[in-house]
Structure 1
Amino acid sequence: MSLLDAIRTHPAADDYLTWPGEFDTSRTYEHVEEVVLASGEALEVVAKDGAGGTYFLCGEGGEERPVLYADSEGGAALLAVGLPELVRLLLAAPFWRDCRELTAREHAEAVEDYLEDDPGLLAERAPAAAALGLEVPTAEAALARLREVALGLGESYVLLNAEEGLAYRPLLTP
């Protein structure tokens, strides 16, 4: 069974990844505008977030392909090398978007803010990870890997508006 199928068939995993992970696999329609990779590689929509952002698998192959995220405002970043790595990031650091410097301290502050409104928010993380057979790294390790991927390999994954040919701005910068 693929990881996407496992997410869809395990309610604990699907629910946790939809929120707080912002990775809704039931929403696989196109991005807010037509986009292409500058390299010409294929893009496959695998999920959306609640704000119009889109997760894409890049190139040909299976779930080991790089995962690119594009927001609805013209920003994009390569987040992971493979869907399992992305899911581990979302389990460990679901509020990565609130971490401009990609630090564990920023993420801990974001978690505190969210927990004020929903104290049980993270209670389903362990059952979600167990349902998928994934170990959850620390937020610090997940954010360090995100920085490594986005600022290293990510330079090779430039997303373009297909109509105008303009590049999306990098979501994550050094």
Structure 2
Amino acid sequence: MRPLITTIREKDEVAGFLAWPGDFDLDRGDHIEEVHLASGAVLEGFAGDGAGGTYFFCGDGGEERPVLYADSEGGAALVALGLPELLRLLLVAPWWRDCRAFTAEESAESAAGYLEDMPDLAVRRDRAAAALGLDLPTEAEVLARLRKVATEVGKGFVLVFTPENEPYDLLIKG
């Protein structure tokens, strides 16, 4: 199977959708602070957002590795178990950072703003998903999965600010 990162880099429409509204850019993988995982596992920055946040692969392996997101304000959370899961989140609910309560109402309110700015969001999302070979879950499913990954599986993925040996705050609380 072709690496998803390669597909993103080669398909302008996919990269464009992930850049906006997904706020995900493969050219922003350098985190502004020196960090490590408390477990000592490998941490590899591979993408970022416009506000200084970074997506990291955790552990050894390829695109199937867990993905941790760290914002520029000292918050971090495990957001996906592999790149395909992260891409589904970014495609279905690019406003996930605004959904701290994980309710349908909160998500609908955030989505409304995106749809106002981009009325063809669903069409563009579906074309990007097809190019990536991904089936898309519902918005409720993707947000429920994010919450579960962050609050249950994510307990074992503590990001530490290396110079002060201080853990980042939990970005998503259970």
Q: TM-score, normalised by structure 1?
A: 0.95
Q: May I ask how many residue pairs the two structures share in their alignment?
A: 173
Q: Give deviations 1:34-55, integer Å, cap 9, x for gaps.
A: 0000001111111000100000
Partner of 1:108: 108
Residue 18 in structure 1 maps to residue 47 in structure 2 = no
Give the Å deviation of 1:107: 1.3
Cα deviation, residue 74, structure 1: 0.1
The aligned runs of 1:110-125 (5 Å cut-off) are: 110-125=110-125
Q: Which runs of 5+ in 1 are unaligned?
A: none
Structure 2: which 5+ residue stretches go unaligned? none
Superposed displacement of residue 66, structure 1: 0.3
Counterpart of 1:75, as a letter, is G
For residue 147 of structure 1, what is the aligned residue in structure 2?
147
Identity level (%): 58
1:8 is matched with which residue? 9
Amino acid at match of 1:134: L
TM-superposed deviation, 1:152: 0.5
Rounded to whole Å, the distance in 2 between the matches of 1:16 and 1:54 is: 18
RMSD between aligned residues? 1.1
Residue 163 of structure 1 aligns to a residue in which SS? helix
Which 4+ runs in 1 deviate beyond 4 A? none
Quick check: 2:39–2:157 contact (8 Å CA) kept in 1? yes
Task: Compute the TM-score of the two structures, normalised by the length of structure 2.
Answer: 0.95
Q: Tell which deviates more after alignment, 91-100 or 108-117.
A: 108-117
Contact 2:36 2:162 in 1 (8 A): yes
For 2:126, give the aligned amino acid.
A
TM-superposed CA distance for 1:120, in Å, is: 3.1
**Once the 2 structures are TM-superposed, how far is the Cα of residue 117 of structure 1 from its aligned partner?**
3.2
| Alpha-carbon separation, structure 2, partners of 1:104 and 1:7 | 29
